[in-house]
Amino acid sequence: MIRLPASEQIPAREQLPDRGDGARTGWDAAVAGEIPPAAPVWRVHITTVEESCIRVRCRQSAGSGPWPLTTALVELGRLGLRPTERFRSLGTGRGRPILHSQEAEWHGLPVHLESVVTSGGEVVEAALALPGMDEVVPRVDEDSWWELVDAFAVAVDATHGALVDGEPVELTPPGSPLGWRRRIGDHLGLLVPEGTETAWDCSASVYTTLPSSGLAVVLR
């Protein structure tokens, strides 16, 4: 985890001064072609390259409750996410599908949503994937990013998960605090239940806690 110094944290739109006519300098002036917009503010550098993917384990077992992505699309739609294609699903034609995916768009960024039934039909995992952070950072600020992740985690009723860059994820809960610490070595970050008692030592640290889902974000 690389925290950006205050001198490199460029103000987001709402932090820009008001000119007195209700418009903000920077973004609104850029629309008029006067000056370039200020970059969204980020306090941390997350080094994803291929994709910025949140993959989580859902609390509900397979075959019960609504489809996770159906709920997620409603909640993420409140944050501006919009489907761009018809959903795809694979299953028996009855009950929850084995695989359910949806392509979408958020602030001009392509988004891939997916849920899959694993472990012999007993466990449901869900994923929210955006491009690498080099594409994400210029378009949205950090608070909006974590708000999207938090809303997704709540919508699919996530128990825990990981921030990954294309690598596979083991989402069976570790049986001990040492298991969590070993797992952080495999990924850029983890989403763990708030209050998880783990001595991360120098390998990682708790960066923030997502307010609605209650998951703590641990970054390496």
Mean pLDDT, residues 78-86 = 96
Rounded CA separation 209/150 (Å)? 9
User: Are 77 and 186 part of one and the same domain?
Assistant: yes
pLDDT for 90 equals: 84
Q: What is the pLDDT of residue 127?
A: 96
Instruction: List the end-to-end C-alpha distance of the chain, in Å, as a whole number.
Output: 5
Q: Are residues 24 and 111 in the same domain?
A: no
Percentage with pLDDT > 70 across the chain: 77
Tokens linked to 187: 């990924």
One-letter amino acid at 110 equals P
Task: Give the count of domains, the chain.
Answer: 2
Mean pLDDT to the nearest integer, 209-218? 96
Which range of residues forms the domain containing residue 39? 1-45
What pLDDT was estimated at residue 210? 97
Helix (H, G, I), strand (E, B) or coil at 32: coil
> Residue 200 has what DSSP assignment?
-
| 210 shares a domain with 134 | yes
Residue with tokens 């049986």: 175
